[in-house]
Amino acid sequence: MRHSIRSTLTVLVSALSVLLVSGPALAYPPPDQVSGDTVVHDPTMIRTPAGYVLYSTHGLLEARTSTDRTTFTRAGSAFRTPPAWWSGYSPENDPWAPDISRERGQYLMYYAVSSFGSNNSAIGLATSRTGRPHSWTDRGIVYASAIGFDHNAIDPNLLVDHRGRWWLSFGSYWTGIRMIRLDPATGKRHPSDRTLYHLATRPDEPYAVEAPDIVRHGRHYYLFASYDRCCAGLDSTYKIKVGRSSDPAGPYVDRAGQPMLTGGGTLLLETHGRVVGPGGQSVTRDAGEDVLVYHYYDGTDNGTPKLGLNVLGWDSEGWPYVR
């Protein structure tokens, strides 16, 4: 009897150890319930006086609207026609990974034009008074990379820091995440600070870090980035990691203190249940909450890319987690 009890306890301890090791993956909540047109890649969302508007990769920057952050309706695209310069970077005139924000009384959208696997890429800027579909005016190229560069000008994200300085982070593979200063008067590259800052990479090829999004919380800036393989349906291994810094330009470190420039990054969200390869994320502030906006591949729908929304919580040490 004593031997039986000991064996049972051994099995229970072993099972508990497995749960503790794999706990974070098991603890992720499902995405918030959404409906309507939710097949997206690289979503970005903002709340306007007329309701929510969400933009995503492809289709002249696909647009969806919502009144309640739950039901989304396809509403055309950001642009009616492609700007002439796009064709120099994408023969298909196929823009990627928009980033929407509102500054100085207007809406700004930074976005990338490229082709898969190439770093002949450019980041453009468009502006709008309303942020609504078909209301955008293109303002041209902000930054470009070319074949032979050690970085890639895609996946842009605007940050306005606590001192009013404007920053644009961007990049993927080709040594990871980079950043430049912008001129708030134009939204283009700063005329005197021409530094190309380096925020995150990893030591192993192909240096799969992309899709930066930086937000301020408390006294820190948090860099959210997507790691590993995107855009492969159920074979995708995308995941979201985060690091933080007291300065917008870094250095960013993870919870354990490892710099993101040496492969660090605290895991925020990864494959769980039907949610495969979550990434391509942005963070938006809405109704006093930080909302993580991302895509994932639906394991119950043949790997179709879907919209994911989750509110972020912040723990006692100031690190974000998915609620």
Is 301 known to be catalytic?
no
Q: Which amino acid is at 194?
A: R
Candidate list 62, 138, 155, 210, residue with the active-site label: 210
- Helices (H), ranges, 115-154: none
Judge whether 15 and 292 are in contact, CB under 8 Å: no
Q: CA separation (Å) from 115 to 86, 88, 139, 301?
A: 11, 10, 21, 27
Residues 250, 236: contact at Cβ < 8 Å?
A: no
Bridge partners for 56 per DSSP = 62
What are the Cα distances from residue 63, in Å, to 43, 48, 90, 98, 318?
A: 10, 14, 20, 11, 33
Q: Which of 37, 42, 99, 270 is catalytic?
A: 42
Which residues make beta-bridge pairs with 269?
A: 240
- DSSP structure string for 164-226: S-EEEEE-BSTTSEEEEEE-TTTSSB-SS----EEEE--SSTT--EEEEEEEEETTEEEEEEE
Give catalytic status of residue 210 as yes or no: yes
For the chain, counts of helices (H) and of strands (E): 1, 21
DSSP conformational letter for 33: P
**Residues known to be catalytic:** 42, 210
